[in-house]
Amino acid sequence: MGDGTLSAGRFVDSVWWKVYILGGPVAWAAVTVAVAASRPPGEDSLAVRLTTAIAGGLYFTGIFVASARSSASGAQKRAQAVRHRLMLRPDHDAERRGQSLSRQVRIVYIGLAALSVAVLMSMIAVGTMGYAVVGMGALAVITAVFCGYFLYAYAAVIRSTNAFVSGLGLKLVRMPAYLRVPALTGGSLSGFTVGAAVYRGVRHGRPVHIVQEGARAATLVGEPSGDGSGLDARIGPERMAAITGKPPSSWKRVAVLYGSSFVAVRRDGNGAGQWMFHDLLLAEALLAANTQPAT
């Protein structure tokens, strides 16, 4: 933004977001302790309970507002820029459908998380056994709704992903088994995954096979020869940056295997699965050169 302000998307990528996430609970506890210390001994704890509930509610409200307004992190925006560069046949309707599905899933998950926090904070504020039983029942219902919505969300993620990659000539052919839960510290969905996401397609007359996991990713463009021959290309980040036009910081822990008719790119490390479009860009750039890369 030109006025120097910090948008929600940039805020969740900034150091201030980490300060807020880590410092918020400290401030929350400090305010509660200060109010408790200021009350006469033996006095009813209503003021302390209200302080705890209000401070906690304000802390989580800040998280939910920033999460809801943050349309994409910096990493996602970089990936989208490369995706547009690789686009074969732009399908704006499909892209809008994909964005709408992603936004819908995001809002529902954030809403359910916010509702759960509201119930918990009200349980703290009221502080009676009867209300605690009611609150636990409400939380059980929210959990049931969350689990039920997950079945829809899983299918929605598949449709959304296919809409995003259809213009690249790719299709999602396998999804990992996973459980998605709201991420209170980032504005996206997180969880546990088992297996890999697999994409296949044809680009520029060459088959493309992509396997994506959280900690590793592999991209194969072209078809290796039957004898399995290939050369390990010792290309450094600077050379990859020169080939693709993307900064050297984009090419950490990336290795290349190439032959006369194929290029395979492997990326290791946490978050490797977020660099799918970058790795496809590198593989196709190397194939287009059709020469042995310089070291």
Look up residue 169 and give its DSSP letter.
T
pLDDT for the residue 44: 62
**3-class DSSP state for residue 217?**
strand
Characterize 67-95 residue by residue with b for buried, 16 or more Cβ atoms within 10 angstroms of its Cβ, and e for exposed. bbebebbeeeebbeebbeebeeeeeeebb
Non-local (6+) Cβ contacts of 213 within 8 A are: 176, 193, 195, 196, 197, 272, 273
Look up residue 212 and give its DSSP letter.
E
Amino acid at 80: Q
Predicted confidence (pLDDT) at residue 10 exceeds the cutoff of 50? yes
Sheet with 216-222, side-by-side order of all strands: 170-174, 197-203, 206-212, 216-222, 262-268, 254-258, 231-233
CA–CA distance, 163 with 252 (Å, rounded to integer): 29
pLDDT for the residue 121: 92
CA–CA distance, 64 with 184 (Å, rounded to integer): 7
Q: Which of 271, 272, 270 is nearest to 255 (CA)?
A: 272
Predicted confidence (pLDDT) at residue 184 exceeds the cutoff of 50? no
Structure-token pair, residue 234: 């010792």
Predicted confidence (pLDDT) at residue 9 exceeds the cutoff of 60? no
pLDDT for the residue 74: 59
pLDDT for the residue 289: 75
Q: Express as a percent the part of the chain with pLDDT over 90.
A: 21
Segment of 12-21, 29-38, 219-228 carrying the highest mean pLDDT:
29-38
Mean pLDDT of the chain: 79
Predicted confidence (pLDDT) at residue 41 exceeds the cutoff of 90? no
Q: Are 187 and 12 in contact (CB under 8 A)?
A: yes
pLDDT for the residue 68: 67
CB-facing half-sphere around the CA of 104: CA atoms within 13 A: 16
- Higher pLDDT, residue 45 or 290: 45
User: Band of the pLDDT at 144, cuts 50, 70, 90?
Assistant: confident
Q: Which of 148, 85, 11, 112 is nearest to 285 (CA)?
A: 85
Look up residue 293 and give its DSSP letter.
P
Structure-token pair, residue 137: 């029942």
CA–CA distance, 122 with 176 (Å, rounded to integer): 37
Residue owning tokens 């020469």: 291
User: Band of the pLDDT at 43, cuts 50, 70, 90?
Assistant: low
Q: Are 214 and 274 in contact (CB under 8 A)?
A: no
pLDDT for the residue 3: 41
Residue owning tokens 């297996």: 195
CA–CA distance, 75 with 62 (Å, rounded to integer): 22
pLDDT for the residue 73: 55
pLDDT for the residue 183: 47
User: Domain extents for the chain?
Assistant: 196-295
Predicted confidence (pLDDT) at residue 218 exceeds the cutoff of 70? yes
Q: Are 112 and 142 in contact (CB under 8 A)?
A: yes
Predicted confidence (pLDDT) at residue 200 exceeds the cutoff of 90? yes
Count of beta carbons in the 10 Å neighbourhood of residue 43: 10
**3-class DSSP state for residue 262?**
strand
Residue owning tokens 């300060």: 19
Predicted confidence (pLDDT) at residue 191 exceeds the cutoff of 80? no
